[in-house]
């Protein structure tokens, strides 16, 4: 017999199932975020605090590591290069991929099925199979060892 204060058996079962779902999701989030939080905590410690045994759970955070990386190293030029290459690769991929996908989805033309098979074959090739031809092409074009060649390679090989 159900009480008006406790709700029906079906609603209690549903609430219990929802509760355990949220507990499982919260546990999963904690497990997945733990390494990120651990790395963040290490970045806010001094070298001595990082190697201390047992690991320090309470410490005074410091931003010295960030100051050192940003002032001394080649971090900023490396970040700039990465942003240029990634941005160029994304723009090139979108510039080629969006019109190609639209034409393949909406238009009818001869050889459409053949193009599908060629694209599938290209996806099945291991990236190393196109390394030498790509190197020779970049060398012939005079763009070897440039950001443009890396962006082009990422556009072709990007998975």
pLDDT tens sequence across 71-126: 987 899 999 999 999 999 999 999 999 999 999 999 999 999 999 999 899 888 88
> In what helix (H) or strand (E) does residue 144 lie, and over which residues does it extend?
none
Per-residue pLDDT tens digits for 82-97: 999 999 999 999 999 9
For the beta carbon of residue 89, count every other beta carbon within 10 angstroms: 20
Overall pTM > 0.95: no
Question: What pLDDT sits at residue 125?
Answer: 87
The CB-side HSE value for 125 (13 A sphere, CA atoms) comes to 14
């Amino acid at each position: 017999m159900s009480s008006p204060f406790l709700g029906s058996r079906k609603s209690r079962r549903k609430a219990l199932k929802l509760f355990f779902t949220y507990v499982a999701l919260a546990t999963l989030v904690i497990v997945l975020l733990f390494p990120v939080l651990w790395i963040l905590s290490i970045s806010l410690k001094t070298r001595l605090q990082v190697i201390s045994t047992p690991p320090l759970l309470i410490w005074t955070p410091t931003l010295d590591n960030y100051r050192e990386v940003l002032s001394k190293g080649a971090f900023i030029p490396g970040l700039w290069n990465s942003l240029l290459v990634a941005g160029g690769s994304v723009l090139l991929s979108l510039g080629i991929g969006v019109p190609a996908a639209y034409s393949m989805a909406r238009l009818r033309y001869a050889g459409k099925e053949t193009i599908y098979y060629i694209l599938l074959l290209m996806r099945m090739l291991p990236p190393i199979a196109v390394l030498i031809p790509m190197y020779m092409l970049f060398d012939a074009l005079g763009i070897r060892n440039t950001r443009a060649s890396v962006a082009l390679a990422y556009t072709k090989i990007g998975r």
